[in-house]
């Protein structure tokens, strides 16, 4: 394609003036003023608020690639190379009013109009992270950060350092990798040595395990007689004493003893998380599991017009009171798209690393064990069904092949009773290990697979031990799902994974980790093309939130949601994909406002 210009009338007044301008020399150039009668019409043209020029703009308004990832003939792709399809974007009143190549674009400006020369930076449609835990991200800034700790001892060292500036109260940490340590979990003893009198709770990276010391267990009232709840496991030593590791739902035994943050504190976690995401180029996030606390914070911030970025909360089905309240009121769509409340997050099984994911047959490295799911994991069939019936999209967490199959069976049963629920763009969160015979079911049931490219490259060292050579072929199987015409949306599941878009894109197109391993990528037949990867973080994520007509693609009349990068991932994808990892976000524009500028 090579659209020189696609100035399309988006409002009647614009249409009128464009037509006038075509016939009048007096308004044939930008910014021209004139005293004749026509000039007053020109002044009705919406004056540009913001103009971004000299950029490499990829609008993604061309037709989608095929299911193998090959670009459409009309895409700006020639001889194996991507070319930007515009260099200038003009914004007024929160919308894109013109897009094309600078010399051909006419627009009205005044003293307030800001024109920015981007000096060759790349513009993408605004990025969306479609599965996040935003309060936890903000909370990490106030806790012991255990992300990337190499050993339990290193976790303790970090906590001792943190203690020097945070001398009292519960010592909370977050981020140790329960998948990586699952064959050799640490115990309370290491923590007791360093912290005999202060309660210590270290939450794991993906939230499926808790590592606590004796003081925390004592305050939570846990001893050798304590039974694990449904869908949970307390690890014990030879004397049946709890070792300090609590898996899946058993983590709640400890968590409920931790003093709750005040409403104000919680809101500050949410704001800190959202501000971080704004800096990192995201224009919108889907909160995967919004509790009453989240909803209070989101709604307060929305009322004060202080949401830093757009939020799409998925109400937690683990908060029955909140769920009942929304069943009674039904979905609530925000006319300005800052806080659309129409989605629910439910949890069908656990995670693969900590062996909570439900498998059809035993784990390859623990054959008697099949994980937990459904009733055994506290999944409330009846509540989720009523939420769906009330018009809510549902996103169900399913990781193991049995977890996915049972989730598919469950959704199918709801479709049978209430056929209209099939149109609610229901999602499977993670869709991580899928049996070959279930692969076609996602698309035939109009489901969206909501997946994390970083999980594939982070889990690659142990995932195959868990599921073996055969089942691994249906794991993290983006291409297999695409080939079945399944709709995808990509995300980070932060703070469980690094949410950098550069890491996400690199994982999606190479299936290599940050060190470039393995050399050819881990099961590289599942790679996405760069176009598919970007679409999965923009347009397809917008689709997953019913906003694909307003955002996710750059075009006249759409929301001015724009992310500016200092590198061009489209071109680097073929020439030097490893260089994508060092990209940086230059600017983030939401609703026409620059909310971050480096
Ligand atoms: Zn999650």
Average pLDDT over residues 546-551: 98
Per the document, the length of the chain is 598
**How far, in Å, from the CA of 365 to the mean position of ligand 1?**
25
Confidence of residue 33 (pLDDT cuts 50, 70, 90): very low
Q: In this model, does residue 178 exceed pLDDT 80?
A: yes
Q: In this model, does residue 2 exceed pLDDT 60?
A: no
The span from the CA of 196 to the CA of 165, in Å, is: 18
At 241, phi and psi to the nearest 5? -75, 135
CA 520-524-525 angle, to 5 degrees, is: 140
List alpha helices for 44-121, DSSP H.
Answer: none
**How far, in Å, from the CA of 133 to the mean position of ligand 1?**
6
Q: In this model, does residue 363 exceed pLDDT 90?
A: yes
**How far, in Å, from the CA of 138 to the mean position of ligand 1?**
15
**How far, in Å, from the CA of 300 to the mean position of ligand 1?**
23
Contact, 524 vs 511, CB < 8 A? yes
Percent of the chain clearing pLDDT 70 (strictly above):
92
Q: In this model, does residue 206 exceed pLDDT 90?
A: no
- Tell me the pLDDT tens digit for each residue of 424-441: 999 999 999 999 999 999
Confidence of residue 5 (pLDDT cuts 50, 70, 90): very low
**How far, in Å, from the CA of 497 to the mean position of ligand 1?**
10
Q: In this model, does residue 18 exceed pLDDT 60?
A: no
CA 118-123-125 angle, to 5 degrees, is: 145
- Tell me the pLDDT tens digit for each residue of 126-165: 999 999 999 999 988 889 999 999 999 999 999 999 999 9
Q: Which two tokens stand for residue 5?
A: 């210009």
**How far, in Å, from the CA of 144 to the mean position of ligand 1?**
20
**How far, in Å, from the CA of 351 to the mean position of ligand 1?**
10
Q: In this model, does residue 28 exceed pLDDT 80?
A: no
Q: Which two tokens stand for residue 239?
A: 């004397």
**How far, in Å, from the CA of 321 to the mean position of ligand 1?**
21
Average pLDDT over residues 82-104: 95
**How far, in Å, from the CA of 146 to the mean position of ligand 1?**
18
**How far, in Å, from the CA of 543 to the mean position of ligand 1?**
19
Q: In this model, does residue 24 exceed pLDDT 50?
A: no
pLDDT of residue 439: 97
**How far, in Å, from the CA of 206 to the mean position of ligand 1?**
7
The span from the CA of 491 to the CA of 428, in Å, is: 13
Confidence of residue 3 (pLDDT cuts 50, 70, 90): very low
**How far, in Å, from the CA of 287 to the mean position of ligand 1?**
9
Average pLDDT over residues 474-479: 98
Q: In this model, does residue 207 exceed pLDDT 90?
A: no
H or E element, residue 137? helix 134-140
The span from the CA of 341 to the CA of 560, in Å, is: 22
Average pLDDT over residues 289-293: 97
**How far, in Å, from the CA of 419 to the mean position of ligand 1?**
28
**How far, in Å, from the CA of 184 to the mean position of ligand 1?**
24
What is the rounded end-to-end Cα distance, in angstroms, of the chain?
32
- Tell me the pLDDT tens digit for each residue of 101-121: 987 898 999 999 999 999 999
pLDDT of residue 184: 93
Between β-strands 77-78 and 81-82, what pairing exists: parallel, antiparallel or unpaired? antiparallel
Domains of the chain: 1-126+553-598 (2.30.40.10), 134-260+342-494 (3.20.20)
**How far, in Å, from the CA of 493 to the mean position of ligand 1?**
5
pLDDT of residue 415: 98
**How far, in Å, from the CA of 568 to the mean position of ligand 1?**
29
pLDDT of residue 458: 94
Contact, 598 vs 584, CB < 8 A? yes
3-state DSSP call for residue 319? coil
Using alpha carbons, select from 529, 516, 430 the residue that is nearest to residue 479.
Answer: 529
pLDDT of residue 45: 65
**How far, in Å, from the CA of 276 to the mean position of ligand 1?**
18
Average pLDDT over residues 401-414: 98
Confidence of residue 564 (pLDDT cuts 50, 70, 90): very high
For the chain, what is the total number of helices (H) and then of strands (E)?
20, 25
**How far, in Å, from the CA of 397 to the mean position of ligand 1?**
8
Q: Which two tokens stand for residue 360?
A: 């059809």
Beta sheet of 343-347, edge-to-edge order: 127-132, 282-290, 310-316, 343-347, 393-398, 427-430, 448-451, 487-490
Q: In this model, does residue 86 exceed pLDDT 90?
A: yes
Average pLDDT over residues 447-470: 96
How high is the mean pLDDT of the chain? 92
Higher pLDDT, 36 or 295: 295
**How far, in Å, from the CA of 113 to the mean position of ligand 1?**
41
**How far, in Å, from the CA of 239 to the mean position of ligand 1?**
35
Q: In this model, does residue 25 exceed pLDDT 90?
A: no
Annotate 294-305 with DSSP letters as a single string: HHHHHHHHHHTT
- As a whole number of angstroms, the longest Cα–Cα distance in the chain is 94
**How far, in Å, from the CA of 494 to the mean position of ligand 1?**
7
**How far, in Å, from the CA of 297 to the mean position of ligand 1?**
19
pLDDT of residue 145: 93
**How far, in Å, from the CA of 467 to the mean position of ligand 1?**
21
**How far, in Å, from the CA of 343 to the mean position of ligand 1?**
15
**How far, in Å, from the CA of 174 to the mean position of ligand 1?**
14
**How far, in Å, from the CA of 358 to the mean position of ligand 1?**
17
**How far, in Å, from the CA of 189 to the mean position of ligand 1?**
30
**How far, in Å, from the CA of 131 to the mean position of ligand 1?**
6
**How far, in Å, from the CA of 336 to the mean position of ligand 1?**
26
pLDDT of residue 140: 85
Q: In this model, does residue 532 exceed pLDDT 70?
A: yes
Using alpha carbons, select from 149, 157, 217 the residue that is nearest to residue 187.
Answer: 217
**How far, in Å, from the CA of 495 to the mean position of ligand 1?**
9
Mean pLDDT lowest among 49-53, 59-63, 162-166: 162-166
**How far, in Å, from the CA of 198 to the mean position of ligand 1?**
29
Contact, 534 vs 470, CB < 8 A? no
Contact, 527 vs 509, CB < 8 A? yes
The span from the CA of 202 to the CA of 219, in Å, is: 15
At 244, phi and psi to the nearest 5? 110, 0
Mean pLDDT lowest among 15-24, 186-195, 512-521: 15-24
Q: In this model, does residue 15 exceed pLDDT 50?
A: no
At 536, phi and psi to the nearest 5? -70, -20
The span from the CA of 274 to the CA of 280, in Å, is: 10
pLDDT of residue 378: 87
Q: Which two tokens stand for residue 257?
A: 């003893």
At 541, phi and psi to the nearest 5? -70, -35
pLDDT of residue 106: 87
**How far, in Å, from the CA of 429 to the mean position of ligand 1?**
8
**How far, in Å, from the CA of 132 to the mean position of ligand 1?**
6
Percentage helix, strand, coil for the chain under 3-state DSSP, each rounded to 5: 35, 20, 45
Token match 């409403």: residue?
Answer: 263
**How far, in Å, from the CA of 537 to the mean position of ligand 1?**
16
- Tell me the pLDDT tens digit for each residue of 299-335: 999 999 999 999 999 999 999 999 999 999 999 999 9
Q: In this model, does residue 475 exceed pLDDT 50?
A: yes
How many C-beta neighbours within 10 Å does residue 386 have?
16
pLDDT of residue 93: 95
């Amino acid at each position: 394609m090579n659209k020189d210009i696609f100035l399309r009338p988006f409002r009647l007044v614009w249409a009128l003036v464009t037509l006038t301008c075509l016939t009048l020399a007096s308004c044939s150039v930008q910014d021209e003023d004139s005293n004749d009668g026509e000039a007053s019409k020109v002044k009705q043209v919406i004056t540009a608020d913001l103009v971004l020029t000299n950029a490499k703009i990829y609008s993604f308004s061309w037709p989608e690639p095929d299911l193998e990832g090959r670009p459409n003939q009309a895409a700006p792709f020639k001889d194996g190379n991507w070319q930007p399809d515009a260099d200038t974007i003009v914004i007024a009143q929160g919308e894109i009013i013109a897009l094309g190549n600078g010399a051909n674009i006419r627009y009205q400006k005044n003293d307030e109009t800001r024109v920015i020369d981007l000096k060759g930076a790349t513009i993408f449609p605004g990025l969306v992270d479609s599965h996040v835990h935003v309060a936890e991200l903000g909370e990490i800034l106030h806790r012991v950060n255990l992300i990337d700790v190499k050993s339990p001892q290193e976790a303790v060292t970090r906590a001792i350092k943190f203690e020097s500036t945070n001398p009292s109260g519960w010592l909370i940490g977050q981020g140790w990798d329960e998948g990586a340590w699952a064959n050799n979990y640490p115990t309370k003893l290491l923590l007791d040595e360093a912290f005999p009198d202060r309660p210590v709770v270290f939450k794991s990276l993906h939230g499926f395990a808790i590592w606590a010391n004796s003081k925390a267990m004592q305050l939570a009232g846990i001893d050798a007689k304590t039974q694990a709840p449904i869908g949970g496991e307390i690890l014990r030593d030879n004397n049946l004493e709890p070792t300090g590791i609590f898996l899946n739902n058993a983590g709640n035994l400890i968590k409920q003893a931790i003093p709750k943050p005040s409403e104000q504190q919680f809101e500050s976690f949410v704001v800190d998380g959202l501000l971080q995401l704004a800096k990192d180029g995201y224009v919108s996030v889907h909160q995967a599991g919004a509790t009453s606390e989240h909803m209070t914070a989101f709604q307060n911030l929305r009322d004060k017009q202080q949401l830093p970025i757009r939020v799409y909360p998925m109400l937690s089905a683990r908060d029955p009171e909140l769920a009942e309240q929304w069943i009674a009121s039904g979905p609530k769509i925000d006319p300005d798209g800052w806080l659309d409340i129409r989605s629910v997050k439910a949890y069908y099984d656990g995670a693969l690393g900590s062996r909570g994911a439900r498998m059809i047959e035993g784990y390859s490295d623990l054959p008697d064990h099949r994980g937990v799911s459904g009733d055994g994991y506290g999944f409330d069939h009846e509540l989720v069904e009523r939420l769906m019936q009330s018009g809510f999209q549902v996103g169900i967490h399913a990781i193991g092949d049995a977890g996915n199959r049972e989730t598919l069976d469950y959704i199918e049963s709801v479709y049978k009773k209430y056929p209209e629920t099939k149109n609610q763009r229901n999602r499977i969160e993670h869709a991580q290990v899928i049996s070959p015979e279930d692969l076609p079911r996602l698309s035939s049931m109009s489901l969206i697979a909501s997946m994390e490219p970083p999980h594939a490259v982070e889990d690659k060292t142990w995932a195959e031990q868990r599921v073996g050579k055969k089942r691994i072929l249906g794991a993290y199987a983006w291409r297999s799902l695409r080939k079945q015409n399944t709709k995808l949306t990509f995300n980070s599941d932060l703070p469980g994974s690094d949410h950098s878009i550069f890491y996400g894109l690199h994982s999606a197109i190479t299936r290599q980790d940050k060190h470039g391993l393995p050399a050819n990528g881990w099961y590289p037949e599942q790679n996405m093309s760069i176009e598919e990867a970007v679409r999965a973080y923009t347009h397809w994520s917008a689709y997953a939130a019913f906003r694909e007509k307003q955002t996710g693609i750059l075009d006249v009349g759409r929301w001015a949601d724009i992310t500016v990068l200092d590198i061009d991932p489209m071109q680097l994808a073929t020439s030097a994909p490893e260089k994508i990892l060092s990209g940086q976000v230059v600017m983030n524009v939401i609703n026409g406002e620059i909310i971050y500028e480096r």
